Amino acid sequence: MNYRFHINGWLGAEASYGYNRNTQQNFTPSGNFGIQSNVHQATGAVVVNVPVYVARMRPYVLAGAGALVFDPTSNTGGFVSAAAQQTRPAFVYAEAWTTDLCVMLPFDWSTADLYTTVRTSEFPH
């Protein structure tokens, strides 16, 4: 879910939130196990609109920062007692194109990337 506020014709700000569920499968000599996590993503970014139109599309770039929260679930088959919640800083950037489907409905074509680091040392081997 995104919200973008245009400060002027070329500069804006964007707030974004995302959620998904991730299961990591691990294979060890002592047996197989999975860690299922709810992953929450929240970011804020500065958006720079390029004042050029190509075939009714306008390019823009954005860059910002935020956080990823990995929250292990207690579901059967996806729970390991030593797995703890982790919150990590994240960096987001994108280069994209936007076009207006109608007056108040823009459509974006983007290639956004989100980078973070996750320490695996918090999980006992």
Question: Is residue 80 a part of any domain in this protein?
Answer: yes
Structure tokens at 34: 């999975």
Q: In this predicted model, what pLDDT tens digit does every residue of 47-71 receive, in sequence order? A: 999 888 888 788 899 999 999 998 8
Q: Write down the pTM of the prediction.
A: 0.70
What is the model's pLDDT at position 32?
72
Query: Does some domain include residue 84?
Result: yes
pLDDT in tens, 71-111: 888 766 555 666 778 888 999 888 888 887 776 777 777 66
The answer to whether position 28 is within a domain reads no
- Cβ neighbors of 118 (< 8 A, separation 6 or more) are 70, 86, 88
Express each pLDDT in 6-31 by its tens digit: 899 899 999 999 999 887 777 778 77
Q: How many domains does the chain have?
A: 1
**3-state DSSP helix/strand/coil % of the chain, to nearest 5:** 0, 70, 30
Assigned domain for 114 exists: yes
Closest by Cα among 43, 92, 45, 41 to 69:
41
Is-contact 17 1, C-beta < 8 A? Answer: yes
Domain coverage including residue 16: 2-23+33-122
